[in-house]
Chains A and B, each alone.
Chain A
Amino acid sequence: MRVRLNPQGKDLEVDDVRRVGDLLGRLGILPGTVLVIRGDRLLTEDAALAPSDEIELRSVVSGG
């Protein structure tokens, strides 16, 4: 599936992940530090993913 990381604007192809939790684990991202977005909906860690999915991982961290 295609995964876009924001705000970096970086695109990745990730294969063989069935659930959101697996995807985050594969990318080394802690749950709670990104919104997982598919279309106009948010996904929880147990949500199932399909190879045709386009997922946005949007960082929630801000500061200075």
Chain B
Amino acid sequence: MKCTRCREPAEVKLRSHNSAFCRECFLLFFRRRVERAIEHQEMFRRDDRILVAVSGGKDSLALWDVLADAGYRTVGFHLALGIGGYSDRSRERSESFARSRGLELRVTSLADENLAIPTVVGATRRPACSACGTVKRHYFDAAALEAGCNVVATGHNLDDEAARLLGNVLHWQVEHLARQRPVIEPRHEKFARKVKPLYLTSEFETATFAFLRGIDYVVEECPNAVGATQLAHKAVLDGLENASPGTKLAFVGEFVTRGSAGFQPTERPDAERSCSSCGMPSWGETCGFCSLRALVDRKTGRAATVADDPAEDRRP
């Protein structure tokens, strides 16, 4: 098999693009795809400051690699989830990547906040992925604010978006469909714009890019993802993609360009209040994250300690 671009022997075949690439041409193709997504969706510009949420996995590290090489102003942020050895290895890969490239990485450890995901799940009985989402959203916003970043970029890829879209369509989650966009504009000055520059890039492509760039990423799966519905949706989509290459790209791409206009979020007044606990924007007296944290503190016997120390209560 020859490279579609230069006719050298190919290392990568992309059926969805009806193309094959040698190493150098694939790296060029991948970087151009990401740059094009950023430009077409007007995600950010050269003068923006971007917080890249890095998990230690292939997608976020590949994204950070592309953005840093392209000269964007980035700061990495790793949230250590406290999920045993998996989280230790994820943090180590993130720190090692940042060190090897001389990039700034900020780290927050949930265990230090009494919010390790297993602790939260045990205290609240919420599904791990749901609790993790609430906690991540808060810390990403808080980290962006603290780092002076007006954009938060995450490594969600085409397969993530296709699986989420399928799940939302199967249950006609119209409110979720209204919020499934590659760019989410902030609704408060303390919030950053959320962007997904890899939304049209498959996880095969991000894994390939990471491998060819020598990025040492965590290959293992989050233990909490085993049996997750999203993986079942991905398996269905992989079957469809195999039968008809390009299906995922059409599903997500056409949803964003044509379908999404049919789903608009319900009007909701902007969050004008500040959470009395953390100071971040909130629709109520306390934000959803601080309500969750208070519950965890109460259940784990930390509530008295927190109440006695107002400074600790204002942790980001």
Contact = CB atoms under 8 A, between A and B. Distances in A.
A33 B159 CA distance: 11
Category for how many chain B residues contact A: 35 or more
Contacts of B224: 64
Interface in B135-152: none
Given A30-B238, A44-B12, A35 B207 contact: yes
A33 B208 contact: no
Interface of A, secondary structure class, is loop
B120 to A, nearest CB: 15
A12 interface: no
B211 A63 contact: no
Contact of A61 (B1, B203, B241): B203
A61 B228 contact: no
12 contacts: A7-B219, A32-B202, A33-B238, A35-B208, A37-B211, A44-B1, A61-B231, A62-B225, A63-B159, A63-B160, A63-B228, A64-B230
Contacts of B212: 42
B228 A60 contact: no
Interface in A6-56: 6-7, 30-33, 35, 37, 41-47
Interface of B: 1, 10-13, 15, 20, 57-59, 128-129, 132, 159-160, 163, 202-204, 206-208, 211-212, 219-222, 224-225, 228, 230-231, 234, 238-239, 241-242
Nearest to B59: A62
A53 B59 CA distance: 29
Given A35-B207, A37-B211, 8 more contacts: A32-B15, A46-B1, A58-B219, A61-B203, A61-B231, A63-B159, A63-B230, A64-B129
Most chain B beta-carbon contacts within 10 A, residue among A44, A45, A58: A44
Contacts of B231: 61, 63-64
A43 B207 CA distance: 14
B232 to A, nearest CB: 10
Contacts of B202: 32
Contact of B222 (A45, A58, A64): A64
Most chain B beta-carbon contacts within 10 A, residue among A7, A33, A46: A33
A45 B204 CA distance: 14
B20 A44 contact: yes
Most chain B beta-carbon contacts within 10 A, residue among A31, A42, A45, A47: A42
B131 to A, nearest CB: 12
Most chain B beta-carbon contacts within 10 A, residue among A35, A45, A59, A63: A63
Contacts of B228: 63-64
Contacts of B58: 60, 62
B241 A32 contact: yes
Contacts of A61: 159, 203, 221, 231, 234, 238
Most chain A beta-carbon contacts within 10 A, residue among B13, B228, B242: B13
A44 B204 CA distance: 13
B37 to A, nearest CB: 19
Contact of B219 (A6, A31, A63): A6
B219 A42 contact: no
B163 to A, nearest CB: 7
Contacts of A33: 204, 238
Contacts of B207: 35, 58, 60
A44 B231 CA distance: 25
